[in-house]
Chain A
Amino acid sequence: MRYLIAAVLTVTLMVPVTASADEVVVYSARKEHLIKPLFDRFSNETGVEVRYITDKAGPLLQRLKAEGKRTPADVLMTVDAGNLWHAADSGVLAAVDSAVLAANVPANLRDPQGRWFGLSERARTIVYSTERVKPAELTSYEDLASPAWKGRLCLRTSKKVYNQSLVATMIARHGEQKTEEIVRGWVANLAAAPFSNDTKTMEAVAAGQCDVAIVNTYYFGRLQKKDPDIKLALFWPNQDGNGVHINVSGAGVTKHAKNPDAARKLLEWLSSEAAQGDFAGLNMEYPVNPKVARDPLVASWGDFKADALNVNEAGRLQADAIRLMDRAGYR
């Protein structure tokens, strides 16, 4: 019986992964329900099939590295500049020279060497309770460390890369020492232990456990869609300074891509006017392509000045940010 099973397994399951000419293979840390509709459209329009696998950025990157030159992956798609920076830094991405991408993606939202391109922009901003906070009380991320917010702040865990990137850009602006003081101030102001995700963090604000929080806007959009009367609102901080912290989800062509041309075409298509509305809109993010209009709900939150710092910096300083938050006792 054992041998029979072994034999059957060997014969039926050893179907090698082969790449055909009109197919792009994507390793994606962006979730399936946010990318599949786009991939389906791309296949319909171009006849190029897209196969993909989703996982966290860390394992996908490890897999790319281990597979080396025989990787089936043509594209690595991930969220957060930190992850993209690490992918580029570990040499698994190829530089792509594309006039289309250069035109569609603003310079601060892509790798200066062309190894990855932002495809949607996300703003990490302040959300507040409309019942207990007047917008006039709010100014900046840094100000949330002041004693005025003692017992009123909720934060997501520092283990989430979004917070790591936020703190990393603060290090880039203020240096380590001042940033650490700010983070310590945040921790001192916390009304509850850090939450595991942005949604729970906002629900705590809505329920009255705290008054303000720092979240990505699309999580707010989801709550708002579910409950249009929710007593929360977004505030755009640092408008007199560097602007709202932004991040990207993005993608790059792998160094050992079997179909680099099709991979580049996929990225170009995703950055195009035809796709950007959906790519960003499905998740209520901001399109990177300036010619594309925002989702109506997203547009209703108003315009803001965004931080022009290249998001690459967030990746470069990410490890410093984690160490800093650990020192400051921000869990």
Chain B
Amino acid sequence: MPGSLSSALGPDPSTLAAGRSPDRFWRWAARLLAISVLIPLGVIIGSWLAVDAATWSHLGSTILPQLLRNTAWLIGGVALGTLLLGVPLAWLTSMCEFPGRRVLDWALMLPFALPAYVLAFVFVGVMDFSGPVQGLLRDLLGLPPAWSFEVRNTLGVIVVMTLVLYPYVYMLARVSFLGQGRSAYEAARSLGLGPWAAFYRVSLPMARPGIIAGLSLALMEALADFGAVAVFNYDTFTTAIYKSWFGFFDLQSAAQLASILLTIVLIALVVERRYRARARFTDDGRNGQRRIRLRGRQAWAASAFGWLVFALAFAAPAYQLGVWAWASLDDLDMRYLDLLVHTASLGVMAGVLTVVAAFVLAFANRYHGDRSTAFAVRIGTLGYALPGSVLAVGVMLSLTWIDNRVADAIEALFGVDIGLVLSGTVIALLMAYFARFLAVAYGPVDSSLERISPSIRDAARSLGAGQWETVRRVYLPMLRPGLLTAGLLVLVDVMKEMPATLLLRPFGWDTLAVRIYELTSEGEWERAALPAVALLVVGLLPVILLVRRSAR
């Protein structure tokens, strides 16, 4: 579709800088954005200029085969898990009516505020041999003292990751279901399809862009995760990356491994785009108001399913965190105010920046795109697949390089050493967030853009609206749920982000995630509950706010 639609808006000289067509404006904007992601990625890919055979042959002959198996299990399991939770729950809360639906509607998004590494340490702390659950079982059932079941295994990791990551699928699927309204579903029903058939054959395919966008985010995060798998001591591909770097101090091999990860994700995304490009979905913009009223056992089952997921993914871990936090309340001091302010302001800045960029990319690609724009989009949305600290080191290396060259030049010209200007500032950190989370914002923005029928734009144009006016008065209002979702996702993701924040934060800019790191890395999980609860609280506000606004 790129190209074919681009002429529809047409050149509109009155609204643009003289001598530039809108196509070129949008394309160059997209390229520029992609470049800012490409630079740190380039540092990673550039690692292939030399290969340290020793690290590779060692990894290949010892741990790599097992890591690949583990990673495959993890990805498969998380894909299945997040789909099985996210899609049905989104359908139930957006299209049906059952007891508790109003609360579950937003409550089911709350687990998103919980970082994976936090749920992981709560889960292992509570469920492992020495935790309260197994201890209680042994006592109550009179089991032998050595009786146990293993939770630090593949299944345990998949469960934790699924509970943390299903909200991506849930949120984006929900936006899609809400956006499509009930008209298509009702048409299908009136043509004789049963409720399940109508769901599978009409509603589900129409929501596919959103579901896939959510799923790819969940899977990329699972692939790039290090914090949660480290709690389980479950070795995935990122383990090899970190081992190369922190163990062998061989950043080069680490970057090479990371770029393999990147390639795999790129291929998956290309395949998905190809597949998706064959289908186009738009809705009539009319949102049905009546919901499908579930009755009797159905209603009860829907309610139980929703509450169970909520309890496991949020209520239980939040309760446990609360208990631990209460015990270490002495740690609470005025510095938490600083931590809160830093956490929230970084999240907001990165959120705004990234959503604007995602809109530019998605709009450029959809209406003014050519091959290079499509390529720019792919590059721009790759950062999420990289482990956070690898991307962060890419940003750090490129910025310090630029800084040093600039300072060299100025020193040569004026004899004054200005020092490192960019790399010690919030800008460095924002660049890393931007590069990492552009994909997160792009998904919801693009999938809501996809559902806006070209006829609406044509109508606006035929009524004499210029290009910017069409964007401002037609697209932005219609995209608002998508833009808000994107902003929320990035805001919360940035607040939870740990490795890039650690590496790139300016002096004094400690966040709650930094505090959690300092305690968990010392094995003080229970004391880490206090900053984790604080993070949860600041994370919850935007989640609840947004859901309420987007829920009608």
- A: which residues have CB within 8 A of B? 1-2, 5, 9-10, 13-18, 25, 31-33, 51-59, 61-63, 66-68, 70-72, 86, 90, 157, 159, 161, 164, 192-200, 203-204, 206-209, 219, 222, 318-319, 322-323, 326-327, 331
Residue on A nearest B63 in the bound complex, by CB: A326
Neighbour of B243 across the interface among A2, A72, A199, A322, CB < 8 A? A322
Given A54-B514, A192-B129, A207-B129, are A16 and B419 also a contact pair (CB < 8 Å)? Answer: yes
Given A33-B518, A326-B62, are A16 and B418 also a contact pair (CB < 8 Å)? Answer: yes
Task: Judge whether B290 is part of the interface by a CB distance below 8 angstroms.
Answer: no
Given A196-B231, A319-B248, are A207 and B427 also a contact pair (CB < 8 Å)? Answer: no
Contact residues in A for B389 (Cβ distance below 8 Å): 59
Interface residues of B in 499-552 (CB under 8 A from A): 499, 502-503, 505-508, 510, 514, 518-519, 521-525
Contact residues in A for B130 (Cβ distance below 8 Å): 200, 203-204, 206-207, 209
Interface residues of B in 342-397 (CB under 8 A from A): 349, 352-353, 356, 389, 392-393, 396-397
Given A53-B507, A208-B145, A326-B58, are A59 and B392 also a contact pair (CB < 8 Å)? Answer: yes
Residue on A nearest B398 in the bound complex, by CB: A66
Question: Can you list 10 A-B contacts with CB-CB less than 8 angstroms, sorted by A residue number?
Answer: A9-B427, A16-B418, A31-B521, A33-B518, A58-B249, A62-B396, A66-B397, A86-B249, A195-B233, A318-B247
Contact residues in A for B235 (Cβ distance below 8 Å): 331
Given A51-B507, A326-B63, A331-B233, are A17 and B420 also a contact pair (CB < 8 Å)? Answer: yes
Contact residues in B for A67 (Cβ distance below 8 Å): 400, 404, 420, 423
Q: Give the top 8 A-B pairs by smallest Cβ distance, nearest first.
A: A197-B523, A207-B130, A17-B424, A199-B523, A203-B130, A326-B62, A66-B400, A58-B246
Task: Judge whether B126 is part of the interface by a CB distance below 8 angstroms.
Answer: no
A-B contact count (CB 8 A): 164
Cβ-defined contact, A193 with B507, below 8 A: no
The listed residue with most B CB atoms (<10 A of its CB), out of A59, A195, A206, is: A59
Complex CA distance for A192 and B156, rounded to whole angstroms: 15
Closest Cβ–Cβ distance, residue B245 to chain A (whole Å): 5
**Majority SS at the chain B contact face:** helix
Contact residues in B for A2 (Cβ distance below 8 Å): 356
Contact residues in B for A203 (Cβ distance below 8 Å): 130
Contact residues in B for A157 (Cβ distance below 8 Å): 233
Closest Cβ–Cβ distance, residue A63 to chain B (whole Å): 6
Task: Judge whether B403 is part of the interface by a CB distance below 8 angstroms.
Answer: yes
Neighbour of A322 across the interface among B239, B248, B525, CB < 8 A? B248
Neighbour of A51 across the interface among B243, B508, B522, CB < 8 A? B508
Neighbour of B427 across the interface among A13, A31, A33, A199, CB < 8 A? A13
Complex CA distance for A66 and B508, rounded to whole angstroms: 21
Task: Judge whether B97 is part of the interface by a CB distance below 8 angstroms.
Answer: no
Task: Judge whether B425 is part of the interface by a CB distance below 8 angstroms.
Answer: yes
Given A196-B232, A199-B523, are A9 and B424 also a contact pair (CB < 8 Å)? Answer: no
Complex CA distance for A54 and B407, rounded to whole angstroms: 26
Closest Cβ–Cβ distance, residue A8 to chain B (whole Å): 10
- B: which residues have CB within 8 A of A? 58-59, 62-63, 124-125, 128-130, 135, 145-146, 148, 150, 152-153, 230-233, 235, 239, 242-243, 245-249, 251, 349, 352-353, 356, 389, 392-393, 396-397, 400-401, 403-404, 407, 417-427, 430, 499, 502-503, 505-508, 510, 514, 518-519, 521-525
Complex CA distance for A63 and B129, rounded to whole angstroms: 40
Complex CA distance for A197 and B506, rounded to whole angstroms: 29
Cβ-defined contact, A61 with B247, below 8 A: no
Neighbour of B420 across the interface among A72, A322, A327, CB < 8 A? A72
Contact residues in A for B424 (Cβ distance below 8 Å): 16-17, 72
Cβ-defined contact, A193 with B522, below 8 A: no
Closest Cβ–Cβ distance, residue B288 to chain A (whole Å): 34
Complex CA distance for A283 and B423, rounded to whole angstroms: 32
Contact residues in B for A327 (Cβ distance below 8 Å): 62
Residue on A nearest B429 in the bound complex, by CB: A13
Closest Cβ–Cβ distance, residue B519 to chain A (whole Å): 8
Contact residues in A for B353 (Cβ distance below 8 Å): 5, 9
Given A58-B249, A70-B417, are A14 and B506 also a contact pair (CB < 8 Å)? Answer: no
Cβ-defined contact, B417 with A322, below 8 A: no
Contact residues in B for A62 (Cβ distance below 8 Å): 251, 393, 396-397
Contact residues in B for A206 (Cβ distance below 8 Å): 130
Given contacts A197-B523, A319-B249, 8 further A-B contacts (CB under 8 A): A9-B430, A13-B430, A14-B421, A31-B519, A53-B505, A59-B502, A159-B246, A207-B135
Complex CA distance for A59 and B352, rounded to whole angstroms: 28
Contact residues in A for B148 (Cβ distance below 8 Å): 209
Given A9-B349, A63-B396, A197-B523, are A70 and B58 also a contact pair (CB < 8 Å)? Answer: no
Contact residues in A for B508 (Cβ distance below 8 Å): 51
Cβ-defined contact, B352 with A54, below 8 A: no
Cβ-defined contact, B518 with A31, below 8 A: yes
Contact residues in B for A164 (Cβ distance below 8 Å): 247
Complex CA distance for A18 and B148, rounded to whole angstroms: 56
Contact residues in B for A15 (Cβ distance below 8 Å): 425, 506
Residue on A nearest B349 in the bound complex, by CB: A9
Complex CA distance for A5 and B58, rounded to whole angstroms: 49
Residue on A nearest B403 in the bound complex, by CB: A70
Complex CA distance for A157 and B230, rounded to whole angstroms: 9
Given A31-B518, A209-B146, are A194 and B233 also a contact pair (CB < 8 Å)? Answer: yes
Cβ-defined contact, A159 with B352, below 8 A: no
Cβ-defined contact, A57 with B523, below 8 A: no
Contact residues in B for A9 (Cβ distance below 8 Å): 349, 353, 426-427, 430
Complex CA distance for A56 and B424, rounded to whole angstroms: 17
Closest Cβ–Cβ distance, residue B148 to chain A (whole Å): 7
Complex CA distance for A300 and B524, rounded to whole angstroms: 23
Complex CA distance for A14 and B152, rounded to whole angstroms: 45
Complex CA distance for A204 and B134, rounded to whole angstroms: 12
Closest Cβ–Cβ distance, residue A251 to chain B (whole Å): 17
